[in-house]
């Protein structure tokens, strides 16, 4: 086996000498290793330098060993190329190959080739010879048996399937969506109930009149604000109670509408007195007397009381009627 490797080294050296003679002009290549003796599995670098004239283009290694491949008995771990000089009529490129050998004995790397242009001629480097020595093993050293397999520390959630978090997330989203739908439906029901039970016009007008009396606007000199609020209460009452669009009418129009309604005809004069006083205060800037203010408030309240709807008759069952007959 060793004789065969020496023969191959001799043939490679002879071929290198012949190929160097046929190298193209202006192109040369060299190759050397960091060391010529290496232990099994140790790593070392093989450095290849390509020197070419500037008039040569597309200079490259052929073939170009690639990282992760085997090259004549060694494993190439990494490849790096670096241009160290460009100018002065030449260009120098260094290639570094990180290799690793596992078989003991002589290892001969074939020459590296460099070509330019259309690769009509190739320049070759010298061969690289390595001696891979085996690793010494002390036969007296005790070789301990492998340790037993240790049980991994586990927790309760290690036994859960991997899809458990997704199921929990889906349940949480469904619960959240259900809660939102329930809340919206409940809120809609509450709003519907509030809208379905409006305050009767009579009760609303009386509540607003009592609130106006508590504010004491007239007593504090704000007659205009006082009469504006008083007339607004009456206008809203007429619209809600009788369907008269009093909010869009003038005072004379409101009086005519009241006199044309059977339920308000008897109280139209009281409303006329209040509206006329309010117009004098708002538009003629008349300052009424305190008695006028009290009188207007009293007449407005009497109008609401006089036109409030009659209470609905209470329903009586047949048994009570029979008792009354007896």
Strand 37-39 with 128-133, pairing: parallel
Q: What's the chain's length in residues?
A: 326
Give phi and psi for 45, each to the nearest 5: -105, 140
Residue 8, pLDDT > 60, answer no
Residue 274, pLDDT > 50, answer yes
Q: Which residues pair with 127 in a beta bridge?
A: none
Residue 178, pLDDT > 60, answer yes
Nearest partner of 39 among 99, 96, 98, 102, judged by Cα: 102
Percent with pLDDT over 90 in the chain: 21
> Residues 6 or more apart from 9 whose CB is under 8 A from it?
106, 108, 127, 129
Lowest model confidence (mean pLDDT) among 6-15, 79-88, 113-122, 190-199: 6-15
Q: Which residues pair with 105 in a beta bridge?
A: 132
Q: Provide the whole-model pTM.
A: 0.39
What average pLDDT score do residues 263-287 get? 86
What average pLDDT score do residues 298-317 get? 79
């Amino acid at each position: 086996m060793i004789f065969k490797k020496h023969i191959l080294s001799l043939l490679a050296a002879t071929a290198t000498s012949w190929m160097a003679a046929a190298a193209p002009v202006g192109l040369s290549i060299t190759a050397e290793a960091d060391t010529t003796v290496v232990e099994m599995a140790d790593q070392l670098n093989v450095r290849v330098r390509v020197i070419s004239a500037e008039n040569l283009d597309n200079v490259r290694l052929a073939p170009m060993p690639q990282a992760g491949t085997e090259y004549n008995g060694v494993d190439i771990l990494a490849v790096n190329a670096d241009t160290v000089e460009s100018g002065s009529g030449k260009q120098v490129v260094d290639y570094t190959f990180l290799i690793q050998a596992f078989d003991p004995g002589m290892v001969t790397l074939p020459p590296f080739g460099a070509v330019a242009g259309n690769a009509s001629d190739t320049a070759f480097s010298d061969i690289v010879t390595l001696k891979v020595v085996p690793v010494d093993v002390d036969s007296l050293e005790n070789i301990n048996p492998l340790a037993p397999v240790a049980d991994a520390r586990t927790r309760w959630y290690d036994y859960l399937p991997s899809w458990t978090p997704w199921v929990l997330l889906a349940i949480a989203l469904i619960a959240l969506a259900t809660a939102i739908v329930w809340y919206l439906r409940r809120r809609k029901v509450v709003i519907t109930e509030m809208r379905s039970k409006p305050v009767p016009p009579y009760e609303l007008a009386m509540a607003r009149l009592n609130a106006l009396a508590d504010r004491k606007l007239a007593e504090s000199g704000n007659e205009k604000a006082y009469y504006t609020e008083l007339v607004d209460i009456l206008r809203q009452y007429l619209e809600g109670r009788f369907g008269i669009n009093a909010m869009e009418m003038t005072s004379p129009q409101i009086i005519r509408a009241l006199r044309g309604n059977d339920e308000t005809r008897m109280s139209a004069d009281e409303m006329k007195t209040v509206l006329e006083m309010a117009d004098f205060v708002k538009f003629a800037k008349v300052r009424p007397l305190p008695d006028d203010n009290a009188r207007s408030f009293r007449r407005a309240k009497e109008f609401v009381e006089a036109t409030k709807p009659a209470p609905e008759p209470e329903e009586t069952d047949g048994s009570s009627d029979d008792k009354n007959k007896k």
